[in-house]
């Protein structure tokens, strides 16, 4: 896959739709996470400089800095996810009787699980921003806060799938369990928080109708 910054959205979707293994679910999860974080940035930009929200200006500027950095990281992780798949694919192609195959495959599985774990953590780390914007962000863009929560939830759900598909095949079950437990803890906390934000925004918009 070409560098993510060098391709159009249409090109990315075309590649994602093809029989090529990358980009796949991991890259898609990272992109969805980047979209969710970018929506936070949009809400912050719409709030910044408004007299009504002047008391939050310093917080909004901090949010803009954090979201810019986070979007950049998540876009890089799309490429990293594709990069770590290549040695995994090659490891699967090694004859089963070949010396060192198991170690090579185990190392490739560890690397392949590390990137979705990064995606999971990076997306989870931004949930406090979504929570903050649900209070401090422009009410004209509150629906976008809800969409951000929904997108980040989806990214987290996708990322953990891509951790599990690799840990499932590891010979070192203690290490696999360690990764699974860490991912599951982040997952449970993050999904619950995203759901709270999403439902709060949804019910607020729906009102009593």
pLDDT for 209 beyond 90? no
What residues have CB less than 8 Å from 37, skipping those under 6 apart? 67, 70, 71, 74, 123, 126, 129, 148, 152
- For residue 9, pLDDT beyond 70: yes
Does 108 score more than 60 pLDDT? Answer: yes
Asked if residue 169 has pLDDT above 70, the reply is yes
Average pLDDT over residues 153-161: 98
Is a pLDDT exceeding 80 seen at residue 3?
no
- Asked if residue 131 has pLDDT above 90, the reply is yes
pLDDT at 2: 64
Range scoring the smallest mean pLDDT among 35-39, 93-97, 186-190: 93-97
36-74 residue pLDDT tens: 999 999 999 999 999 999 999 999 999 999 999 999 999
pLDDT of residue 208: 58
CB atoms inside a 10 Å sphere around CB 18: 10
What's the whole-model pTM score?
0.93
Q: Side-chain half-sphere of 183: how many Cα atoms within 13 Å?
A: 26
pLDDT at position 117, please?
A: 97
Q: Domains plus CATH for the chain?
A: 22-206 (1.20.120.680)
Query: Is the pLDDT confidence value at 86 over 70?
Result: yes
Q: What's the CA gap between 144 and 44, in Å, rounded? A: 11
pLDDT(114) > 80: yes
d(CA 158, CA 136): 29
């Amino acid at each position: 896959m070409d560098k993510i910054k060098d391709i159009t959205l249409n090109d990315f979707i075309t590649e994602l739709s093809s029989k090529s293994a990358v980009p796949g679910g991991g890259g898609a999860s990272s992109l969805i996470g980047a979209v969710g974080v970018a929506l936070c940035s949009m809400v912050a930009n719409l709030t910044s400089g408004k007299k009504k929200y002047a008391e939050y200006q310093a917080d909004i500027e901090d949010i803009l800095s954090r979201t810019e950095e986070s979007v950049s990281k998540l876009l890089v992780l799309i490429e990293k996810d594709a990069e770590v798949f290549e040695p995994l694919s090659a490891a699967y192609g090694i004859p089963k009787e070949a010396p060192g195959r198991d170690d090579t495959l185990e190392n490739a599985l560890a690397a392949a699980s590390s990137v979705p774990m990064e995606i999971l953590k990076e997306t989870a780390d931004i949930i406090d921003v979504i929570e903050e914007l649900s209070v401090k962000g422009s009410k004209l863009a509150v629906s976008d806060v809800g969409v951000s929560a929904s997108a980040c939830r989806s990214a987290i759900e996708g990322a953990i799938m891509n951790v599990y598909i690799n840990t499932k095949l590891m010979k070192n079950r203690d290490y696999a369990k360690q990764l699974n437990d860490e991912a599951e803890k982040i997952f449970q906390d993050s999904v619950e928080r995203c759901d709270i934000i999403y439902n709060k925004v949804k019910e607020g918009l729906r009102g009593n109708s």
